[in-house]
């Protein structure tokens, strides 16, 4: 029984709220809505200190807005020419450093039309195949222990493989020295 009275009470509350909503909706005072007065935008205050593209000042903005948007003649105003940079005194440029002045040939591989060379340039070992370039120099030929490099603005350079001898050459031992030497283990 209590459940029925609670359910009936909820139905009554819902009906009362629906009637109140219907009365508020149909009441003549609520139906007379007045639109607010229009406010004209003030471009001058909105664009003051605005950063606009094309060297355009905020005062010129209204003139740009008045022009039709998709006209071919519509363009940004021309920018004033930049001031001429002060001329620096001309100093003679030093000649560019030739990388082959300090280059060394570390190794050569030559087999017919294929070949490669290992060059030490500025402390770094670089491998070049025939026809490859480094710093503008192109490996053109390998002849035994020398290589020919070409550059478009400089004469050809020929570099030779120089063997480094850490120990000076030793004269062969005579018979007396060979007898004193202990036998070498095999």
Domains annotated on the chain, with CATH: 102-158 (2.30.30)
Radius of gyration of the chain (CA): 47
Beta strands, E only, 76-153: 104-111, 114-121, 124-129, 133-134, 137-143, 146-151
Of 62 and 118, more confident? 118
Torsions phi, psi of 74, nearest 5?
Answer: -75, 120
- Which residue bears the tokens 């010129």? 60
Which one, of 145, 141, 109, lies nearest residue 127 by Cα? 109
Give the rounded distance of the alpha carbon of 67 from its chain centre: 39
- Which residue bears the tokens 């001898």? 165
- Residue 178 pLDDT > 70: no
Q: Which two tokens stand for residue 114?
A: 């294929």
Give pLDDT, residue 43.
76
- Residue 78 pLDDT > 80: no
C-alpha span between 186 and 184 (Å, rounded):
6
Q: Return the number of other C-beta atoms located less than 10 Å from residue 43's C-beta.
A: 14
Q: Which residues pair with 138 in a beta bridge?
A: 133, 150
Give pLDDT, residue 59.
73
């Amino acid at each position: 029984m209590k459940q029925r009275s609670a359910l009936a009470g909820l139905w009554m509350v819902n009906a009362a709220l629906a009637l109140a909503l219907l009365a508020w909706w149909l009441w003549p005072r609520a139906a007379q809505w007045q639109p607010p007065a229009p406010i004209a935008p003030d471009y001058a205050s909105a664009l003051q200190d605005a950063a606009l593209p094309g060297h355009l000042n905020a005062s010129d903005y209204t003139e740009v807005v008045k022009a039709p948007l998709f006209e071919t003649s519509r363009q940004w105003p021309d920018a004033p020419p930049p001031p001429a940079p002060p001329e620096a005194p001309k100093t003679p440029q030093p000649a560019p450093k030739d990388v082959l002045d300090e280059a060394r040939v570390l190794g050569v591989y030559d087999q017919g039309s294929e070949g490669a060379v290992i060059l030490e340039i500025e402390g770094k070992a670089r491998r070049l195949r025939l026809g490859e370039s480094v710093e503008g120099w192109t490996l053109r030929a390998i002849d035994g222990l020398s290589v020919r490099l070409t550059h478009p603005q400089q004469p050809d350079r020929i570099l030779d493989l120089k063997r480094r001898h850490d120990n000076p050459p030793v004269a062969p031992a005579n018979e007396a020295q060979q007898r004193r030497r202990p036998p070498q283990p095999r």
